[in-house]
Structure formats: structure tokens, C-alpha cells
Chains A and B, each alone.
Chain A
Amino acid sequence: MASIQSLLARGTVLFTVGVFFALVLNLLQVQRHVTVFPPEVLASIFSSAWWIPPSCGTAAAIIGLLYPCLDTKLGETQYYKREWSSVMRCVAVFVGINHASAKIDFANNMQLSVTLAAMSIGLWWLFDRSRSGFGLGVGIAVLATFVTQLLVYHGVYRYTEPDFLFVRSWLPCIFFSGGVTMGNIGRQLALYDGDTDKEKNE
């Protein structure tokens, strides 16, 4: 019973975090005029693409719960001792990657994609270093990109300058690093839950 409750609590937290990230990062993209939104930023966040933040939040919750679950299933030992500070570092780097993708002027899209890919791998190496994390991250990236492609194909959503089929080429990298970050947060939350469970048992 307690486990379901804690699962729900974790899910809620992750969902909130996901929604929050979706809003903030979208804002960054808006600045760059990448996605099509009306110039009135405030209105755009709450009206036009209302379904994006919730779906991002759901995805975040799923990923965040999946990571610790996978860890226990595979029994993989974690490279790092989990600490909130390192999670925060991870989040900061993730935001930084997003920021870089939004703000920095690259010579061409190829360069942008390669740089972001390197950054994402660096993020994983710095804060995760588990094979399951990498696998899951890649899986998420592929799946999410595919879903986005589908959405754009059906005209639900549009990118101003698609260069990778219908979307931007850096999208998989962002998804990958987002997955790793969410996984980190999820693991940390799970750890916290485990601790409280232990305390309760004692």
C-alpha cells in the first residue's frame, strides 16, 4: 500500500518537473523562433499547444519511474553515490544544453547536432555511467523522435526549419539528455523512498 502511495507521489513530482521543464524549454525555443507560436509568448504557453506540457510531464513521470525499476530488475550497481547535489548539477547541465541549442549560432545544422550529441553523451558519462541508463536514453530518444515525426507529419505541430525529415536534427540529443536527467531525478526520488521505507521498518 505504502509502495503504491510512494509511487504515486514520485509520479506526481516527476510529472510536475516534466511540465515545468517543458514550459521553460519551450520558452527557450520560442525565443529562437523555432517552433511556431504567436509572438505573444504568455498566451502561447497556455493556449495554443496546451497538450505539450502534460504529455511531457507524463513522459517524464514514466521515464523517472522506469529508471529505478530497471535498475532493480537488472541489478546494476550504480557508479555514483546518489546525491541531490549531483542531480542538480545534472539538471543544470541539461538546461545548459538546451540553452546552447537555442542560443548559440552554429555554422550549420550538422555542427549543431554533432556538438549536442557530444554534450549529451558527456552528460550521461558525467552523471550516469550505467549501461541501462544509456540504453534507456537511446530508446527514449528514438521513440520520442519517431512520435514527433508522426505528429508533425499529421500536421499537429510544425517546425519552422525542419532539417531532419520533419523535425530538427538536434531533437534526439535533447530527448536523450532529457531522459538521462529525468532518470537521475527518478532514481534519487526512489532512493529517498527506499530510505523512508527503511526507517519505517525500523
Chain B
Amino acid sequence: MENGVITAGLEKYFNPETTEEVKVTEGTHAASYAVGLARVKVISAYPITPQTSIVEKLSEMCASGEIDAEFIKVESEHSAMACVIGSESTGARSFTATSSQGLALMHEELHWAAGARLPVVMVNVNRALGAPWNIWADQSDSLAQRDTGWVQLYAESNQEVLDMVLQAYRLAEEIMLPVMVNMDAFFLSHTTEPVAIPKQHLVDQFLPGYNPKFKMDIKDPRAFGGLATPDRYMELRYNIQKSMEGALDLIPKIADEYDAIIKRHHGGLVEEYLTEDAEYLLVTSGTITGTSRIVVDAFRNKGIKVGLLKMRVFRPFPVKVVQESAGRAKKIAVIDRNISFGQSGIFFNELKSALYNLETRPLINGYVAGLGGRDVTPSTIEKVINHLIAAEKGEDLIWMELNYESDEI
């Protein structure tokens, strides 16, 4: 299909009443269109593969007047984040995007954005970190930023990227914390998919202008971020935690509101696929989820009760929902495209700890697969499920499809 008005037969996917047009577009461009729709005022970013097309697209959109924003082309990612910290402090909705090494370079500023309670929204394209150089999909970059005070969301499709960025601004500005929207390198960033661009007036209805309670204002001079002594600092941290916890209620609420106005829903904290009666539960995030759906269907066709839990939110970690959904299963397999060296896959570790307080705990296995962009195919996932079904006790770390030191599975 081509860009343009909704092609006959696709109304099922793209609501003609809420859709301006359907574009066949890559994930990076879907993110860029969302930035325009969100009426962002200040953009600052630094190019890195595979995020670069966001920088290029937004430059183009700013130059053509398609979006009315100031784009500051900084000399590093550290500065990109510091720049949007500055612009957000004045109450200007701001955006940045990065990936991998760039995100790592930003680390100090990620803490600053959250600590300063600035609702920056950033798209991160999940890419492996060097050494050695590798530009392909891997979640180790964002997960290494786990404790910075950023909300972390993970998208499965380009449509979800666009919708997630818009919802991210709503969330960020309600809880006054920054939000990171993650998409897999290449599998989303450079793969074209049809994406419905919602009508601007509906987006405006969903996401009104930003007007913070406190900002840099010459009429109301205040100092922001000055020394907080031990008798004050801890409460500020407590407040961040409370806001994070608040996000657990807000994320599904905002997703529902989006659905009410734009008529599209990708799930709240998680998306459950055939989990209700599932004995074996697969837990995934990002693009591995799409592949897993097909494999789950195949097992169901054979009468084996496999379900799928897609994690849309990593921070705050949705402990309750995971307990309810995963707690029903007999056995759980978590697939991680990331690794915490010396421990295990990171989603696995979080899930396992979320289930600890259940009275009857399911068996849980952690599978690490697809690091550095290696394909995670239906056959990989099939192996995971078969291994899980046969498992007699839980295993924290099972490496999938290593080319050497090959595991027995």
C-alpha cells in the first residue's frame, strides 16, 4: 500500500474517523511524526545509528515548517539531555532521542532530569553497547538506566511507537518525571509498517498544552536544584517513588483515554495474550513479542495451553499485574534480549522478584536470546517453550542458540 488515505479493507486497523492518513513508515519516522503531533517546542539531539533518521526527519520537519520547534543540534548526547533539561525548566515541551553509546553518555543527565522533576520525553532505539562495536537490537542500553528515575516503556510496532510517544507526554507531565520510549534497533527503527497518523485536533484534545506549577520565571524567582541537605534529600526521593507508583494507575488510564479519543489501544502496563487459562506463560518485550504470538498460536493449535505476557512498562515495574497474570501459570519463561553480567536476563530477574511473595510460586526460567541483533525466530521461541514444558525446576539463565559452548537445548 502507499502513503495516503486509508486503503479499502484496512478500516479494521485504522479508524477512518480518527486517522488523518496512513503512512508506510519506519519506526524512527513514526516517532518523529509523534513529536510533531505533540506540538513539541524544543528538540535537541545528536545522531547515532539507528536513531539517526529521527534527527534527520525532525530537521526536515522543522525546516519545512511542518513543526514549529527549535531544534538545537548539539555536540553530544550529554549536551542534548542537558539542553532539554534547560528548556523543560522553562515549561517548554521538549524532546530528544538517542541509542546505545549515546544513552550511556547521557547517564548523569538522566538522573538530573528525573531529580529536577522535568517531564522530558525521549525515544531510545535499543542497540547493543561496545566493545566490540555492534549497532543491532539489544536492550542492555536502556536497562542499564534502570535506576535513573525514568519511566521506561517498550513498543512492539511502529504504530505503538507513535501512540506511545503521545501517551508518554501525558504521563510525564502528570507525574513530573521523564519518560523513555524504547523501540528495537532495525526491527522497528528501520522496518516500514503502515502507521495511522491521528488527526491533530484529536491529539490536541488528548494532549493539551503543558503548563507546570513551577518553572524558571523572572516574575517568580526561585532556585532549582540547589543543595539539599540530608534532612531534605530523602523526602525528595520518596516523592519520586510515589510519583512512579502513581504511574502504575495512570498508564492504563491514559491508554484508555487515548482509546476513547483516537480509538486505538495497545494494552496498559502489560498486554495479555491468551493468558487467562495459560499453563505455560511466555514473557516478552519489544519485537520478540510479535514473533511469539505466532508461536503461541501454534502451540494452542496443538492443544497446549501457552499464553503470552507482553511487558510494555519496565519502570515502574508492574508488580501487581505480573503477580495476577503470571501467578496463574504453572511455568513461566522470560525471554531477555539483554543481560546483567554476573546475574541473568534483566526482565527475568525483575519478574522473579515480583513473584517471590506469592503463596504458590510458579516455576520460572530465564532465557537470554538475540543479543546484539541476532534473530529470535519462531524456532527459537518454540525451543524455549519446549524447554519450559520439560523443565522440572527453575533455571535463572539459559543461553539460547549459542554458536559455541552450545547448550543441550
Do A and B associate with each other?
no
B-contacting residues of A (Cβ < 8 Å)?
A: none
Name B residues whose Cβ lies closer than 8 Å to a Cβ of A.
none
